[in-house]
Amino acid sequence: MTTRALLRIAPAAALGLALMVALPAAIAQNDTSNPGATSGGISGQEQHEPSGPGYGPPRGNVVAPSSAPATSPSSTTDAAALQPSGALPAPKPIPLVPSHPVWNTFHGQLNAQKYSPLTQITADNVKSLLKVWEYHTGDMSDGSGERPTSVWSATPIFANDTLYIGTPFYRVIALDPGTGQVKWTFDSKSTLKALTQPALKNRGVAYWQSPNPVAGQPCQKIVYLGTMDAQLFAMDADTGKLCQGFANNGVLNVDQWNDVNNKYPLSLLQPPTVAGNHVIMGWAGKDWAYAEAPPGTVFSVDPQTGKRQWSFAALPPDIAPRTGTANVWTGMSVDEGLGLIYLPVSSPSPNYWGGNRTEKIPLATSTTALNLDTGEVVWSRQWVHHDIWDYDINSAPTLMDITVSGQQIPALMQATKMGFLFVVDRRTGKYVWPIEERKVPGGDGSIQGEVYAPTQPFPTRPAPLLDQSKKPPIWWVADALGLGQCSRLWKSLDYAGMYSPPTHKDNGVLAYPDSAGGVQWGGVAFDPRGKTAIVNFSHVVQSIKLYPRKEYEQLAGGSGNEQGFYPQEGAPYGMSLDNALNWLGMPCWAPPFGEIAAIDMSTGDIKWRRPIGASQKWGFYMPESMGSVTIGGPAVTAGGVIFIGASMDAKVRAYALADGKELWSDIVQAPAVANPAIYEYKGREYVAFIAGGNTVLKDQVGDQVAVYALPKS
């Protein structure tokens, strides 16, 4: 009897407690302010003296973190970060924002605005949105069989009156945009092994069409698919048949150019960027595995022949053999009028120890503008000096024309893992609002061979999306249910403010945001009419610890997706990366866990911010006031609607651009970790989501393409 009663009461008590948790959070639902999110670096009173010119030795002691916002800049010069400007190409009369609806590339348009001028779906009628068709590719794996887990983050592209999608099994499917009927499929028959990633990944396909098509000839319109094993397939967009004139009968072996530290293939998971007569490819590698890895070369090839046109390397050739990467694994953006392509460049190898690359590497962890036709650097701006946090620049910069203080500026916004939004003139890289070089913490002496950059760039506007001036507050519920576990963990983690470096001491260093980033590869959407930028971002805390090699070999267990032990083979230190959770798996840091915000790009002020989505554990949805960690980005329309999936609860949503109010939602098969696509076909506006899932969010995979439209009147 007693046992039965306890068994009966236990779930009720647990859920009642959850309700208690929900109520205060729900009360705070409309509190969109984040007073702490104006700070970063070491506050004025506590700034360390620089260690000397260039990168310095470790600091002696960790200074206690300050809760005061940083108000005293070290400098606002561009000299520390901006590389001398090269010559701008001759301008061309190509507008930044296409005059007609376009969604033929990963970020919708080459400017990465993810903006549709369509107005059929509005903030007033979006609540009537219906799923008009769905398609299941069959290409998914939960990892239980022989195949690795699938992670499908493809944005469908609309071109040639067709919706093209790539799958994590490296197939291309061409669908009728109005009905979802299959037009053709292409199977690369690529290896389905996770050669460089913990999962089979695909972010879609790219499209090119000839400006001067030859009648009756195939491959005047081409779809490109990259694979895990570094093959680029080019197929006719009308038939799906390989283009025989492209490279080797339609297949370009990009790994032929993998000639330095070729520990793994150059995985083509992100679709190429296609602009003018160029197919430009970055690639993804195997993070955290090696100290010496392939250097991150970007290749431009001819769209019809696959012949290499130019290449770009962020690493100087004399440094590349003893480090590696600084690759471009995410999307790029292009201003065809200016003739520039903008590369978000990642960090060098290994990610969390830089003793093998103590020289300045100015093009690493940067936004770098190249001449689209020649690949020459026009300007480059480094966002993290001597990156030992894996703060890869992980999204295509969003290009936007804005007016600030009465001056029209062709600008670029670079969102970052750090939660910083840097805004610069996209012709020169010079800041629009001051970007300050602030002093940051040095090391504690526990890491041999390491050097530390004395300052790092911090934006003044827009304000940082996360408050990294101090350790994030502990979530009392997780701490209570963990019997003080979170408090103990917080005390044992080093943190002296943003850019506190990895350490061997205690439980390591607190990392906030996490390795996946505050803002991720979905990037920033932009409404060019209202000059409003929209960005979703996550609040996640991790701990990073470096272990001397012998100790690492004794301790190392398995590694998961973005957490666990990683060897950094070739470096004197292995490392571990762990989410800051209690024994129940609850986050130790206080919610919200994810937000979406709108920014007035005339002033740099945040118009509104709100939690996005709902977290989910064991099927239980937490209150939406707590938000969700997100993967994937937003899209925005002239109808005043923001569309986004991205959240853990596998819902796709519409928010009002004006005030962030949630207007509509629907449940899809798995978290829609891809940016949505918006297109018009036969006079009807459609919104397409791909629900593929990502195990970083939760163990749920999908193979669904879900397409929505208003009911036919």
Of residues 11 and 683, the one with the C-beta less far from another protein: 11
Of residues 16 and 321, the one with the C-beta less far from another protein: 16
Q: Which of residues 566-625 bind another protein (CB under 8 A)?
A: 618-622
Task: By CB under 8 A, tell whether 12 contacts another protein.
Answer: yes
d(CA 309, CA 353): 34
Is residue 390 part of the annotated active site? The answer reads yes
d(CA 657, CA 394): 25
For residues 113 and 534, the answer to whether their CB atoms sit within 8 Å is no
Of residues 237 and 477, the one with the C-beta less far from another protein: 477
Q: Which of residues 398-417 bind another protein (CB under 8 A)?
A: none
Q: Count residues near another protein (CB under 8 A).
A: 18
Among 3, 4, 212, 558, binds another protein (CB under 8 A): 4
Task: By CB under 8 A, tell whether 184 contacts another protein.
Answer: no
CB atoms within 10 A of CB 20: 10
For residues 344 and 386, the answer to whether their CB atoms sit within 8 Å is no
DSSP 530: T
**In the bound complex, what is the minimum distance in angstroms from residue 327's beta carbon to another protein?**
41
Task: By CB under 8 A, tell whether 652 contacts another protein.
Answer: no
Task: By CB under 8 A, tell whether 16 contacts another protein.
Answer: yes
Among 8, 127, 491, 550, binds another protein (CB under 8 A): 8
Q: Which of residues 614-633 bind another protein (CB under 8 A)?
A: 618-622
Considering the candidates 390, 392, 479, 494, report the single residue annotated as catalytic: 390
**In the bound complex, what is the minimum distance in angstroms from residue 651's beta carbon to another protein?**
10
**In the bound complex, what is the minimum distance in angstroms from residue 8's beta carbon to another protein?**
5
Of residues 485 and 665, the one with the C-beta less far from another protein: 665
Q: Which amino acid is at 27?
A: I
**In the bound complex, what is the minimum distance in angstroms from residue 461's beta carbon to another protein?**
39
Task: By CB under 8 A, tell whether 11 contacts another protein.
Answer: yes
**In the bound complex, what is the minimum distance in angstroms from residue 13's beta carbon to another protein?**
8
**In the bound complex, what is the minimum distance in angstroms from residue 16's beta carbon to another protein?**
6
Measure Cα distances from 523 to 326, 379, 417, 631, 635 in Å: 19, 21, 10, 10, 10
Stretch that binds another protein, among 12-20, 101-109, 193-201, 554-562 (CB under 8 A): 12-20
Stretch that binds another protein, among 8-16, 332-340, 414-422, 634-642 (CB under 8 A): 8-16
d(CA 207, CA 260): 30
Q: Supply 22's token pair.
A: 């929900």
Of residues 324 and 623, the one with the C-beta less far from another protein: 623
Stretch that binds another protein, among 15-23, 113-121, 122-130, 586-594 (CB under 8 A): 15-23
- Torsion, Cα of 500, 504, 505, 506 (10° steps): 100
**In the bound complex, what is the minimum distance in angstroms from residue 622's beta carbon to another protein?**
8
Measure Cα distances from 666 to 534, 654, 663, 669, 703 in Å: 21, 9, 11, 10, 16
Residues 158-177 as b/e (b if ≥16 CB within 10 A, e otherwise) read bbbebbbbbbbbbbbbbbeb
Stretch that binds another protein, among 7-15, 119-127, 357-365, 382-390 (CB under 8 A): 7-15
For residues 497 and 511, the answer to whether their CB atoms sit within 8 Å is no
Task: By CB under 8 A, tell whether 13 contacts another protein.
Answer: yes
Q: Using alpha carbons only, give the angle 354, 360, 364 rounded to the nearest 5 degrees.
A: 75
Among 5, 79, 87, 214, binds another protein (CB under 8 A): 5
**In the bound complex, what is the minimum distance in angstroms from residue 501's beta carbon to another protein?**
40
* Helices and strands, number each (H, E), in the chain: 4, 42
Question: Which residues does residue 547 pair with via DSSP β-bridges, in sequence order?
Answer: 574
Of residues 12 and 214, the one with the C-beta less far from another protein: 12
Of residues 619 and 711, the one with the C-beta less far from another protein: 619
d(CA 329, CA 314): 13
**In the bound complex, what is the minimum distance in angstroms from residue 1's beta carbon to another protein?**
7
Of residues 621 and 681, the one with the C-beta less far from another protein: 621
**In the bound complex, what is the minimum distance in angstroms from residue 333's beta carbon to another protein?**
38
DSSP 456: E
Burial class (CB in 10 A: 0-12, 13-18, 19+), 229: buried
Q: Which of residues 225-244 bind another protein (CB under 8 A)?
A: none
Task: By CB under 8 A, tell whether 24 contacts another protein.
Answer: no
**φ, ψ dihedrals at 634, nearest 5°:** -95, 170
Query: Cβ contacts of residue 421 below 8 Å, gap of 6+?
Result: 413, 414, 415, 459, 462, 464, 465, 519, 524, 533, 535, 599
SS3 12: helix
| Look-up of token digits 């590349």 | 320
| Look-up of token digits 């009628």 | 125
Task: By CB under 8 A, tell whether 9 contacts another protein.
Answer: yes
Of residues 3 and 408, the one with the C-beta less far from another protein: 3
Closest by alpha carbon to 323, among 283, 286, 364, 293? Answer: 293
Task: By CB under 8 A, tell whether 23 contacts another protein.
Answer: no
Task: By CB under 8 A, tell whether 384 contacts another protein.
Answer: no
For residues 526 and 398, the answer to whether their CB atoms sit within 8 Å is yes
**In the bound complex, what is the minimum distance in angstroms from residue 15's beta carbon to another protein?**
4
For residues 452 and 566, the answer to whether their CB atoms sit within 8 Å is no
Stretch that binds another protein, among 13-21, 115-123, 310-318, 427-435 (CB under 8 A): 13-21
Stretch that binds another protein, among 3-11, 142-150, 192-200, 204-212 (CB under 8 A): 3-11
Distance of CA 110 to the CA centre of its chain: 17
For residues 462 and 419, the answer to whether their CB atoms sit within 8 Å is no
CB atoms within 10 A of CB 548: 14
Of residues 64 and 584, the one with the C-beta less far from another protein: 584
Of residues 583 and 620, the one with the C-beta less far from another protein: 620
SS3 187: strand
Task: By CB under 8 A, tell whether 25 contacts another protein.
Answer: no
Residues that bind another protein (CB under 8 A): 1, 4-5, 7-9, 11-13, 15-16, 18-19, 618-622
Active site residues: 390
